[in-house]
Structure 1
């Protein structure tokens, strides 16, 4: 009996230790992510403005918001803030199509002429081709910023447009194709696209802060869209997203999007067979590709599926990324029209999550190095046996040459590390190797090394 108690006590202690390690690891990740975003928003001309949620399975690893949802009324972004998610809507449309397939109401190889009439030369397009942007349809349907555009009116417009290529022969990203899919969902289900999404995705997952847009009115808790170049907020007009029903008309927040992705991965929306269709490339045996409502890629040799959303000149960008083998997923919703802050932030946060190198945009106090030390580093460096970068010494500083002939000043910081003036996300370091020097460059998360070939 005593031995059994000792055994149970030992198991209990191990569980506590493992739990403590997990908490410490998560806190370390959280601290590094906060450090990056604080420095990025402080030391660069760009601003990440919006909300971020990163999770593993159902456990949230990181959830933070930055910037203002409404400058005029001094409202900060928060986890409750609602954003239009743009083309991430396409994943909701593809899930809806797969639900209808599972119910036996459609087949992915059905020609769309079975559901939509008077198609001119488009009668041979299949549902699969619409899902994979291989239909040959034009990129856009009707375009109107402020006016409500009924779905049927948009469909009639798309029908009249010429095809870019014969169906199935190529890939061309098409909002018009997903607008067509919205019409098929309506024809098969007997309800509007917006009603179908509400009843079959929002309600089952209790996504109570998500909805399909039908006008251009700002609703409660919605972020205002801005152009934030040079940190100068310029308010942008609100779009009536009925023009992109099925391809870009959903609004949500990060907590609801967590419910969506978790529900998608855990069988609450579609079967495992259907989920595998989303995870797998549907466009052939290429490394990168497109499935149903998602792009496919590899990052750090880890497969991921993702989709971004952009309301052009409307002030919103978004991104969801899922690493299915690791059960990680990342959600970014922003109210900055510039996509670059979201792109850089997502790359750095992935590097932190997977313990890879990244450039931290610190602007440290300049370290003094002797002229002799600096001149040791000057010379030509060869990268990948092809690209040559020259390092010059001039008036107490090192410079690298750009392709256009201009010079980039290197500011010395510490440990033989430098950052490029006006480019704090590019860090360089000189390493000694067998009486020679290696020039190491970290540009955001990309790392390259060149060896010195002459002085």
Structure 2
């Protein structure tokens, strides 16, 4: 996979009611739950979208497990209950456990300051950042997916290299005054763990979590030689699955290769035993919201979608792991959880970008430009249309479908002519086609709108300086 493809991959980033007897009768819902879970998963599989495993546990008893699609499409190896999938950001729960273990043994506290670990952060207000703020995404760090990282994520193959990406960047806000999801904050936590313990993060995972919970099928890194290692596939705009290479290295913010049963073992140990943490400890209960009715953990990325729903009120666990993407795991797990809680769930429908592409191909460029926005809302889609069109355009670029991609980016410009981001995307399309001059000229429109705008895709702003672009 070339650099352009890797970058595009990274960017990648009506109501249906079913009732069986009395929907308030938990026993009736439990009886019909396996059929409902299978029906939901099958609908997504039949779209060509879902490939993976679904596990439902009630009172620590396995009441449903089923596999869909292929572990390896090319070799026609079907998914089974033993297939290993990437957990994505569910990794963060493992990192939280490692952090809380160190708090339990007195290595540091929730209110310990980042500055005390001497990692090299010197920007304004960095001395105020606490462990707790890193855990709850209120430290003020940007996410790691800045242009420098996106251009070649495989170059960042260690925690130290990932740490370097934002170590000198200003914080987005004063710590504790706002909240913004940051993978980078968990990379910082991983470095703190390594410094405090003197051990590598992978070693901590194995010895402090995998072994105590008997997660024998789980590893930090993927292994192509493993009999049950899944191949990752991305769900394309044309409703097909396309194989993707490794685009990022695992780290404390995302990764782990595991099975649905091993993931269940982790959460069972975490929420119902003292194998990993003292279950009665008030800090542990607060960080994992153990006294609420629900805990959810989700992971996503190119070729990755994973979801865990823990219904603490009714003692259910739902684990959905896939080797496809676009958040299909949490769409499935959320509908299963909805049936458990309410006896009904939202209807299953096509992904936004796939709906957009089908509408474009069916109606043509002119009708798409005139009518798609209304059709999008009429179909019940509420996701920001600009994000949907941008993602579709980027996927078309990856497929070298330049004419269709440019149709998307020019449509985006027509929708949001005053947004610098749309010219950045259009400029990147020209750059991907090899037209650096037009790319630079197009990006100048972003700067005309916002003079300090920074490209999401090109770290040097397309080589732009203060010279006049003809």
Q: What TM-score do the two structures reach when normalised by structure 1?
A: 0.65
Residues 403, 164 of structure 1: alpha-carbon distance in 2 compared, 3 angstrom cutoff: closer
Match of residue 75 from structure 1: 77
Offset of residue 327 of structure 1? 2.0
Match of residue 326 from structure 1: 314
Match of residue 358 from structure 1: 345
What secondary structure does 2:38 align onto? helix
Partners of 1:260 and 1:221 in 2: CA distance: 19
Residues 172, 61 of structure 1: alpha-carbon distance in 2 compared, 3 angstrom cutoff: same
Partners of 1:150 and 1:33 in 2: CA distance: 39
Q: Where does 1:281-292 land on structure 2 (aligned, <5 Å)?
A: 291=287
Larger proportion of strand: 1
**In the alignment, which of 78, 83, 86 is matched to residue 84 of structure 1?**
86
Counterpart check, 1:315 vs 2:303: yes
What secondary structure does 2:167 align onto? helix
Partners of 2:31 and 2:315 in 1: CA distance: 19
Residues 277, 62 of structure 1: alpha-carbon distance in 2 compared, 3 angstrom cutoff: farther
Offset of residue 183 of structure 1? 0.7
Q: Where does 1:265-344 land on structure 2 (aligned, <5 Å)?
A: 265-266=271-272, 267-274=274-281, 277=283, 280=286, 291=287, 303-311=293-301, 314-339=302-327, 341-344=328-331
Larger proportion of helix: 2
Offset of residue 216 of structure 1? 8.3
Asked if structure 1 preserves the Cα contact closer than 8 Å seen for 2:48 and 2:240, the reply is no
Asked if structure 1 preserves the Cα contact closer than 8 Å seen for 2:143 and 2:183, the reply is yes
Offset of residue 80 of structure 1? 0.9
Match of residue 112 from structure 1: 114
Asked if structure 2 preserves the Cα contact closer than 8 Å seen for 1:36 and 1:360, the reply is no
Counterpart check, 1:258 vs 2:246: no
Residues 161, 227 of structure 1: alpha-carbon distance in 2 compared, 3 angstrom cutoff: same
Counterpart check, 1:41 vs 2:37: no
What secondary structure does 1:308 align onto? strand
| Deviations 1:76-133, CA, capped at 9 Å, x for gaps | 1111111110110000011111111111111111101212332112232111110010
Q: Which moved more, 1:323-332 or 1:123-132?
A: 323-332
Unmatched segments (≥5 aa) in structure 2:
1-24, 350-371, 380-470
Counterpart check, 1:61 vs 2:63: yes
Partners of 1:145 and 1:220 in 2: CA distance: 27
Asked if structure 2 preserves the Cα contact closer than 8 Å seen for 1:126 and 1:135, the reply is yes
Match of residue 193 from structure 1: 201
Match of residue 140 from structure 1: 144
Q: Where does 1:418-429 land on structure 2 (aligned, <5 Å)?
A: none
| Deviations 1:125-171, CA, capped at 9 Å, x for gaps | 11111001000011116454434522222223331121001111110
Offset of residue 181 of structure 1? 0.3
Asked if structure 1 preserves the Cα contact closer than 8 Å seen for 2:277 and 2:284, the reply is no
Residues 351, 74 of structure 1: alpha-carbon distance in 2 compared, 3 angstrom cutoff: same
Q: What TM-score do the two structures reach when normalised by structure 2?
A: 0.63
Larger radius of gyration: 1
Asked if structure 2 preserves the Cα contact closer than 8 Å seen for 1:304 and 1:322, the reply is yes
RMSD over equivalenced CA pairs, Å: 3.2
Asked if structure 2 preserves the Cα contact closer than 8 Å seen for 1:308 and 1:317, the reply is yes
Offset of residue 258 of structure 1? 0.8
Residues 408, 194 of structure 1: alpha-carbon distance in 2 compared, 3 angstrom cutoff: closer
Larger relative contact order (C-alpha < 8 A, sep ≥ 6)? 2
Partners of 1:123 and 1:201 in 2: CA distance: 31
Match of residue 50 from structure 1: 52
Unmatched segments (≥5 aa) in structure 1:
1-20, 281-290, 363-401, 410-455
Partners of 1:83 and 1:331 in 2: CA distance: 12
Residues 35, 161 of structure 1: alpha-carbon distance in 2 compared, 3 angstrom cutoff: same
Q: Where does 1:203-218 land on structure 2 (aligned, <5 Å)?
A: 203-213=211-221
Partners of 2:265 and 2:377 in 1: CA distance: 49
**In the alignment, which of 172, 175, 183 is matched to residue 175 of structure 1?**
183
Residues 405, 194 of structure 1: alpha-carbon distance in 2 compared, 3 angstrom cutoff: closer
Residues 218, 333 of structure 1: alpha-carbon distance in 2 compared, 3 angstrom cutoff: farther
What secondary structure does 1:404 align onto? helix
Offset of residue 247 of structure 1? 0.5
Match of residue 131 from structure 1: 135
